[in-house]
Structure 1
Amino acid sequence: MILRTFGWSFAITALGLLAAFLYEGTTALGLVAVLAILEISLSFDNAVVNAKVLERMSAFWQRIFLTVGIAIAVFGMRLVFPLAIVAITANMSPFEALDLALNDQEKYAHALESAYPMIAAFGGMFLLMLFLDFVFEEHEYEWLAWLERPLARIGKLNQLSVVIAGGALAIAGGFFADDPGDVMIAGVLGMVTYILVNGLGDLFEGAGDVDEDSEDVKRGPNGLAVATGKAAFFLFLYLEVLDASFSFDGVIGAFAISTNLIIIALGLGIGAMYIRSLTVFLVRKGTLHEYVYLEHGAMWAIGALAFCMLVSIGHHVPEWITGGLGAGLIIAAFLSSVVRNRNEDGKNQSSADKELHSSGV
């Protein structure tokens, strides 16, 4: 199962490291390895959240996510997107931006950093909406019951997540941004993108749930309804936008390690491949069902990341803080799940012993 799930990742790693070595020798090889580790550490929570969506998709669309999706993630978000941002903000053509990235790396890095407030506003609002929609809903299991329970109660107020996200954007744009207008526009676009893609996904998934004979919904091995066709396509789009929002901090943080666009694309691309393979592994292993608080930890990590991105509009937030918060929350949720499972096993064993004793065995 490991080879079947991570085979593509191993192959891409070998090819990426070989390309780095041929490009600029051992120095480039080392930088690519460090960037890959950076991407994995910053995006582990992304894999947990992705897995929750991916388990609702058929095996075919899971393969699409692992193959076509990685091409979009690597070439789109790690290569084309930074070029597009620089081209738009610096008022130049994409070809000029590419020439700048290859021949004047420091100036390119500076141009991308100048655009970061808008990037942070877009990604921060998308992730904040995702986090708020989760904590304002009731769930079968509650990790931080003392906090999640009252949040679920007040979440019954319609569109509360939009209200809070809009207020957070106004505060971030008004107090942190040097150019509030651009930040506000980018943040609103982030909210609109989340509402649109999430809404379309729910629309087609809901249509399948209503009609059990729909051609867009089938039953998976775990008995859950899995989406195919249009429903799966919009879930795929949702995952790609989610990945884009997670990748913003990794792309910007990578420039602290190297300003070479080729090295950055190779390193982050390898890391992104492992995140996708890990997502599929979590689905096939059923980890989210076994460790029930893991999704909660990932969502709280997303909330922390969204907060850090909004703060970073005006103040630099070190990557070790964002990565450390995410990893810490997920580890805490995992350990809580382990403790819960042991307690449940103890209760079941105690019940079984009582039944045996009462039956005189």
Structure 2
Amino acid sequence: MRPIVRSSLALPLLLLAVCVPVAWILLSPAAAAALTALALLEIAMAADTSVPMAGIAARIQHPARRLFLSVGLVLGVLAMRLLLPPTAVAVTQAESPADAAAEAVLQPGLFAAHLEAARPGIAAFGALFIWLVFSEYLFNVERTSRRAWLGRVEAALARVRFPRAAALGVGVAAAAVSVALADPSVRGAIAIGSATGVAAYLANKVVAAWSTRDGAAGWKLHLHAATVVFERGLTVFMLFEILDGSYTLSSTSSSPGLNYLEEAAVAVVGVAIGAVFLARLTATVNAERGLKRLRYLKAGAAYVLGVLSVLLWASLAVPIPGGLAGWFGSVIIGLALLTSLPRRRSLRNQDPVAPAS
């Protein structure tokens, strides 16, 4: 591994090695599993976004650059993580956001019941939104040249003629199946959540494209960064949503999930570890060749999102085993790291993914 990547990974992995046992002892094994999955996902997503973020950071005045890369990202993701649950309760229960936030802290049982009632719509929203984000990689929307991690099948999917139409078609079909299999009492919520997920994804992409048009600068750069933070923050939220097969903010759950304050603590540490890696790697890479030796880390992060979207859809019909959901991110990203480190001659024989003609 090149020194540039080794030096960037050293501190985040050290922090992870220290914090996971602490979470196990002070909180629970479920908290340790959540922290491991979240931190590794954040590291992989940081590797994926370090190059475009470096391009944005390079156009920000130097004194504000480090603040933008570390504090700005952390605060944005944590705001998504901590504010979305009270917001969902406020919308579904016709409460004010302040009342919903107070309920989360002072009346966790009632908050859990209200959040459980909102869960089908939230899960449907997240499943479709995250599927569309994953599909950008799976169907190679940007038509970049890359080497397929999973061989010929991945290479073939990356060459589909209309990638955005394929992504939307598969997502809508999966949403329709989830509506058909769901209890009739929640079908409307799932349909509305799915439609909202599509709308939120398209709006986020429109804003991102507009903010980078014609060499945009100044506040538009921060707006573009906000679209990245939105996707990452929503992913963190949904990772907790699915971790133990029932809504993990529900303190009345019979499964060994996490309560609201435990999840907040795990989210702070996990996101902070990812932010440390992003800041160090972005500053070092400067939009060049720092991630060439970790060539499959982006694929690993993408497939974590794909599995997460499938688990969210499945959770609308059947409970998801805690062990499966708790460690899937760690396993996938670990495999991506292992297959990235050595250079093998056999790689020459894999199908490269090339832009479609």
Deviation at 1:142, TM superposition (A): 1.4
1:110 matched residue in structure 2:
113
2:116 match: secondary structure: helix
- Percent identity of the aligned residues? 20
2:133 matched residue in structure 1:
130
2:37 to 34, 38, 41: 41
> Which whole-Å deviations, capped at 9, do the CAs of 1:219-239 have from their partners, x for residues lacking one?
xxxxxxxxx652452133232
> Which whole-Å deviations, capped at 9, do the CAs of 1:199-243 have from their partners, x for residues lacking one?
3323443533xxxxxx63xxxxxxxxxxx6524521332322332
1:335 matched residue in structure 2:
338
Q: Which has the higher helix share?
A: 1
Deviation at 1:33, TM superposition (A): 9.4
1:53 matched residue in structure 2:
49
* 1:194 is aligned to 2:212: no
2:73 to 69, 72, 82: 69
Greater gyration radius = 1
CA distance in 1, matches of 2:187, 2:323: 27
User: What RMSD, in angstroms, separates the aligned Cα atoms of the two structures?
Assistant: 3.5
Unmatched tracts of structure 2, length 5 or more = 242-246, 349-357
1:146 to 152, 163, 178: 152
- Kept in 1, the 8 Å contact 2:24–2:32? The answer is no
CA distance in 1, matches of 2:262, 2:112: 13
CA distance in 2, matches of 1:238, 1:267: 21
CA distance in 2, matches of 1:338, 1:297: 13
Unmatched tracts of structure 1, length 5 or more = 15-25, 209-214, 217-227, 347-361
Q: 1:258 to 1:316 in 2, by over 3 A?
A: closer
Q: 1:235 to 1:94 in 2, by over 3 A?
A: closer
- Kept in 2, the 8 Å contact 1:45–1:330? The answer is yes
- Kept in 2, the 8 Å contact 1:124–1:306? The answer is yes
- Kept in 2, the 8 Å contact 1:308–1:317? The answer is yes
> Which whole-Å deviations, capped at 9, do the CAs of 1:232-290 have from their partners, x for residues lacking one?
52133232233223322315435455775444323322222122223334444666322
- Kept in 2, the 8 Å contact 1:282–1:288? The answer is no
CA distance in 2, matches of 1:333, 1:27: 25
Deviation at 1:157, TM superposition (A): 5.6
TM-score (norm 1): 0.73
2:248 to 227, 233, 253: 253
CA distance in 1, matches of 2:25, 2:337: 33
- Kept in 2, the 8 Å contact 1:34–1:267? The answer is no
Letter matched to residue 148 of structure 1? E
1:298 to 296, 301, 324: 301
2:84 to 66, 70, 81: 81
Q: 1:81 to 1:28 in 2, by over 3 A?
A: farther
CA distance in 2, matches of 1:162, 1:79: 29
1:241 to 223, 226, 231: 231
> Which whole-Å deviations, capped at 9, do the CAs of 1:135-175 have from their partners, x for residues lacking one?
11253211112111211222446622111111111111221
2:192 to 182, 185, 188: 185
CA distance in 2, matches of 1:77, 1:325: 22
CA distance in 2, matches of 1:191, 1:160: 14
- Kept in 2, the 8 Å contact 1:73–1:240? The answer is yes
> Which whole-Å deviations, capped at 9, do the CAs of 1:96-148 have from their partners, x for residues lacking one?
32343233322222221222211111111111001112111253211112111
TM-score (norm 2): 0.74
CA distance in 1, matches of 2:175, 2:260: 31
Deviation at 1:327, TM superposition (A): 2.0
